[in-house]
Amino acid sequence: MPVRSRSQADTLLGVEAIIFCGIQGSGKSTFYKQRFADTHMRINLDMLRTRKRESILLAACLEAKQSFVVDNTNTTIEARKRYIQPALEAGFQLLGFYFESPIRDAIARNLGRPPKERVLPGSIVRTHKDLEPPASGEGFDQVFVVRVTGNGGFEVEEIPPNRPR
């Protein structure tokens, strides 16, 4: 399990590192815009384009004690480690949001995006095959599952610690 600095965690209550996990078209960016745009910096490879830029922005958030959301697919435990360990070491509260979506729904939402923002349906299928939902054992203080509702909103449910997905 990742290591957290307890003294920092005690002094940084309310400073959050949020890691999104889900296939393309599952609602991650829309959820960010609705729930976190006013309070959390967005770290997103689609916008930043390179891991170098992403690393610089992550380091700035950690140094400034600025809450942030990593809005990428983050489908594997290995992919999430690059954010989890530094956030824990900096004393951030760590939250995981798993965006559960049927592939067909994600593909349909993807087709509703502007053409330059769409991904190939095969990419969504491949990402789904690699998907490892987040779990408390990775170091998360809380893990939530998010589902898109029929009216364009979201249903959010906390997953109890150590419950298998």
Please provide the DSSP assignment of 7-74 as one string: HHHHH-TT-EEEEEEE-TTSSHHHHHHHHTTTTSEEE-HHHH-SHHHHHHHHHHHHHHT--EEE-S--
Per domain, the residue ranges of the chain are: 6-159
pLDDT (tens digit, 9 = 90+) per residue, 2-21? Answer: 655 544 544 456 899 999 99
The model's pTM: 0.89
Tell me what the mean pLDDT of segment 130-148 comes to: 95
Answer yes or no: is pLDDT of 96 > 60: yes
The domain 6-159 belongs to what CATH superfamily?
Answer: P-loop containing nucleotide triphosphate hydrolases (3.40.50.300)
Tokens of 114: 């502007």
Residue 11: the pLDDT is: 46
First to last CA, the chain: 18
Tell me what the mean pLDDT of segment 102-112 comes to: 93
Tell me what the mean pLDDT of segment 152-158 comes to: 93
What is the band of 46 on the pLDDT scale with cuts at 50, 70, 90?
Answer: confident
Answer yes or no: is pLDDT of 33 > 50: yes
Sign of the torsion angle spanned by Cα atoms 48, 54, 60, 66:
positive
Tell me what the mean pLDDT of segment 133-142 comes to: 94
